[in-house]
Amino acid sequence: MPTKEEIDSQIMDLWDEIFDLEDKSKKELNNKYAEWREVEPRLDEGVDELVIHIEAMTGISDESMLIYREVKGIKIRYKQQKDEIQARIDELNKEKERM
């Protein structure tokens, strides 16, 4: 059975993984946004405004829609990974409380 210190160390390692995922996500999204700006000038108005525009499905090119779907996929993938790590952190915290 691990000690509280070992559990704390594992939790810190998992938080490091979450921070790394956030950095990777930001980098990947910034690259995708740069690509998207080339085909969708409205992106300069703001991502949220463009998403509202896209979801209204008015005047969006196929290429812009493809990149939008890729961006959405990136966000979902990283959120799922962070949620899985957070669940492991929660389990370790519960284990530590039982000690």
The total number of residues shown for the chain amounts to: 99
Domain that holds residue 12: 4-98
Cα angle 84, 89, 95 (rounded to 5 degrees) comes to 130
Q: How far is it, in rounded angstroms, from Cα 23 to Cα 53?
A: 27
Of residues 18 and 62, the one with the higher pLDDT is: 18
Read off the pLDDT band of 25 (50, 70, 90): very high
What pLDDT, in 10s, does the model give residues 44-73?
666 676 677 676 666 677 888 888 889 999
Q: Is the pTM of this model over 0.75?
A: no
CA 75 to chain CA centroid, Å, is 4
CA dihedral in degrees (71, 76, 78, 83; nearest 10)?
160
> How many CA atoms lie within 13 Å of 44's alpha carbon, on the beta-carbon side?
5
Q: How many domains does the chain have?
A: 1
